[in-house]
Amino acid sequence: MSRVGPVTDESVNEAAAILRAGGLVALPTETVYGLGADATNDRAVARIFEAKQRPEFNPLIVHVPNLEAARAHAIFDVRSQRLADRFWPGALTLVLARREGSDLSLLVSAGLDTVALRCPAHEIARRLLAAAGRPVAAPSANRSGRISPTTASHVADDLGDAVDLILDGGPCPIGVESTTVDVTGDTPLLLRPGGVTREAIESEIGSLGTPDDASVRAPGMLASHYAPRAPLRLNAQDAAPGEVLLAFGPDAPAGAVNLSASGDLVEAAANLFAMLRDLDDAEPGAIAVMPVPEHGLGVTINDRLARAAAPRA
């Protein structure tokens, strides 16, 4: 098994040294755990794909400490600058035009002339970025197609020996991935709903478009994704024989595993992936999921549930 360590100055420095030497470090962020590598090192970035068993090279999010560092790699216009000012550090990823002369590995862009940048808010992620002194490419630290990890033990279960060190920062406070917005065209596009709501982003820069073909623009957003082993049955009111129930809200059957008994969407997002993993571990015939309201973070939760329920290849 890979080493899982508590976070101390020593372990953060060790993690930074592993990154600089081309190794892989799993790190907590406020959204989900990331599988990090030095984004300027082609071989290190290639190891991410190998560890995740990604079938093809999808582009990766590059984590930077601040807007100034981001500017070395991408071109910001008025809108992207506004979004960064308002939501960074935080759960927003911007897809931007790559700056010529950026020393980022071409692999992080997977052949596109764009790059996805995020400045994380989590204290441990920030300490690691500062100690490493390099941009860190980090997709979610799960095997490709599986549920994203929100604890260090999720990472260890999924990636085992493939990662050199896992920094254990406890459960991720937001629990779903960052919102991803492509600001390279005339109309900014919502590529992936996430931890920052669409409403919050639109209040800064106006209406977001929806890409015609999200799977092409954001290749990580394949229809079947975030999948537990068990099939999902959405819009359920209770569990049928052989099923387990993932409940939501105050009207749920007593004693059910409940994303949020009070109906709080922030709490539900934080619980989503860990509860799906726990229910899946019992190897049920199916996971029946109660409806979640389609507003605010509910949009993100329903996006992930729909992908988890999609037909598998």
Residues at the interface with ligand TXA (CB under 6 A): 29, 31-32, 34, 58-61, 93, 95, 109, 112, 114-116, 118, 138-140, 177-178, 180, 191-192, 217-221
The residue range among 33-41, 84-92, 126-134, 138-146 that interacts with Mg ion, by the rule CB under 5 A, is: 138-146
CB of 22 to ligand TXA, least distance (A): 19
Nearest distance in Å: CB 55, Mg ion: 13
Nearer Cβ to ligand TXA (191/275): 191
Of the candidate spans 99-107, 134-142, 151-159, 194-202, the one that interacts with Mg ion by CB under 5 A turns out to be 134-142
Nearer to ligand TXA, 220 or 298 (CB): 220
Residue 62, classified by CB atoms within 10 Å of its CB into exposed (0-12), middle (13-18) or buried (19+), is buried
Rounded least distance, CB 140 to Mg ion, Å: 3
Neighbouring C-beta atoms of residue 161, cutoff 10 Å: 10
Angle between helices 152-159 and 265-281 (to 10 degrees): 40
Q: What is the DSSP string of 45-87?
A: HHHHHHHHT-SS----EEE-SSHHHHHTTEE--HHHHHHHHHH
179 binds Mg ion (CB under 5 A): no
Q: 112 is in the binding site of which of ligand TXA, Mg ion, none (Cβ under 5 to 8 A by kind)?
A: ligand TXA
Per partner kind, with CB cut-offs from 5 to 8 A, the member of Mg ion, ligand TXA, none near residue 32 is ligand TXA
Give the one residue of 140, 144, 178, 184 binding Mg ion; rule: CB under 5 A. Answer: 140
CB of 177 to Mg ion, least distance (A): 6
Distance CA 30, CA 23 (A): 22
241's CB contacts (< 8 A; 6+ apart) are none
In angstroms, what is the minimal distance from the CB of 73 to ligand TXA? 11
Residue ranges of E strands in the chain:
3-6, 25-27, 34-38, 61-63, 74-75, 92-98, 114-118, 136-137, 165-168, 179-182, 189-192, 232-233, 243-247, 257-258, 286-289
User: Could you list the residues that contact Mg ion (CB under 5 A)?
Assistant: 140
